[in-house]
């Protein structure tokens, strides 16, 4: 009895398999297979995505840690660059102060070493503010110099702890001048539009050479002779029957000025 039941079951299974294979062969079950395939795809895609996310979780953590480390190193680099820039500025300032002190010791004049701290808001760009004022001995008219007796301007206003400098390039600046090594004045140097200098009122019989050095004549109150103003930089042009003029070039950049010396007087 059991043998016959088993035989029946085998025949049913075989017959069912044969029918399924036959139907699949002729394409009758293709729509059913398509539905099953779509159903499996809808389930397998999220499962595969979940598998990938789980698999890459350690890599994601490592990437996050690496990104944070890169950000930290970038911040440290910017801080170091900023510190390096500040140290470079301080080093230049200290060197300028040392040079000014050594230079002042070799001269028979009294100097007030000062630092430029800004520009006045109510004045043109040809004015500077210094950190030395009346309490330090600064007074109106004193010349302001850099390096080897190079005149850059004069004091035009003083306060208790600060003072104002009018640069030589200012339109209102005017200083009597002569040629280096000469004895007699050859004209007056004035500023042009805050950008350059011009030697004016040159007598017609004088013909300064290109690159010849122009210095102060000593005729202006408070301004000693032989302070360097600039050098002849252009062809001389006639202004009238009596005088001519020429452009001068300076040996400094007004935008780079930092430490200056105020000539207070002779010792």
Q: Give, in order, the Cα–Cα distances in Å from 93 to each of 96, 110, 129.
A: 5, 21, 16
Q: Domains of the chain by range and CATH?
A: 1-106 (no CATH), 110-266 (2.40.10.340)
How much is the pLDDT for 267? 46
Rounded-to-integer distance, Cα 145 and Cα 137, Å: 16
Instruction: For residue 157, list its beta bridge partners.
Output: 164
Confidence of residue 153 (pLDDT cuts 50, 70, 90): very high
Q: Mind listing the pLDDT tens digit for each residue in 183-210?
A: 888 889 998 888 888 888 888 888 888 8
C-beta of residue 163 within 8 angstroms of C-beta of residue 157: yes
Cα dihedral 58, 60, 63, 65 in deg (nearest 10)? -70
Average pLDDT, integer, range 13-38: 61
User: Whole-structure pTM over 0.85, yes or no?
Assistant: no
C-beta of residue 53 within 8 angstroms of C-beta of residue 61: no
How much is the pLDDT for 176? 92
Confidence of residue 106 (pLDDT cuts 50, 70, 90): low
Dihedral sign for Cα atoms in the order 131, 133, 137, 140:
positive
Confidence of residue 44 (pLDDT cuts 50, 70, 90): low
User: Most confidently modeled of 13-27, 69-83, 169-183?
Assistant: 169-183
């Amino acid at each position: 009895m059991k043998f016959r039941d088993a035989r029946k079951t085998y025949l049913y299974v075989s017959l069912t398999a044969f029918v399924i294979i036959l139907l699949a062969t002729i394409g009758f079950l293709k729509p059913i297979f398509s539905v099953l395939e779509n159903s499996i795809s809808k389930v397998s895609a999220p499962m595969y995505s979940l598998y990938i996310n789980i698999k890459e979780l350690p890599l994601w953590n490592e990437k996050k840690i690496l990104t944070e480390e890169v950000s930290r190193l970038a911040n440290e680099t910017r801080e170091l660059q900023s510190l390096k820039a500040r140290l470079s500025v301080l080093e230049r300032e200290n060197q300028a102060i040392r040079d000014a002190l050594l230079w002042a010791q070799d001269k028979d004049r009294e100097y007030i070493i000062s630092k430029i701290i800004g520009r006045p808001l109510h004045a043109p760009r040809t004015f500077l503010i210094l950190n030395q004022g009346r309490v330090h001995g600064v007074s109106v008219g004193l010349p302001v110099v850099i390096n080897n007796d190079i005149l850059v301007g004069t004091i035009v206003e003083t306060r208790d702890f600060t003072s104002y400098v009018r640069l030589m390039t200012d339109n209102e600046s005017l200083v009597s001048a002569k040629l280096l090594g000469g004895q007699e004045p050859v004209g007056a140097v004035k500023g042009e539009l805050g950008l350059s200098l011009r030697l004016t009122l040159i007598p017609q019989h004088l013909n300064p050479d290109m690159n010849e050095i122009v210095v102060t004549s000593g005729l202006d109150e408070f301004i000693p002779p032989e302070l360097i103003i600039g050098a002849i930089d252009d062809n001389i042009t006639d202004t009238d029957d009596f005088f001519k003029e020429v452009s001068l070039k300076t040996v400094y950049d007004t935008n780079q000025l930092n430490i200056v010396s105020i000539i207070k007087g002779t010792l």
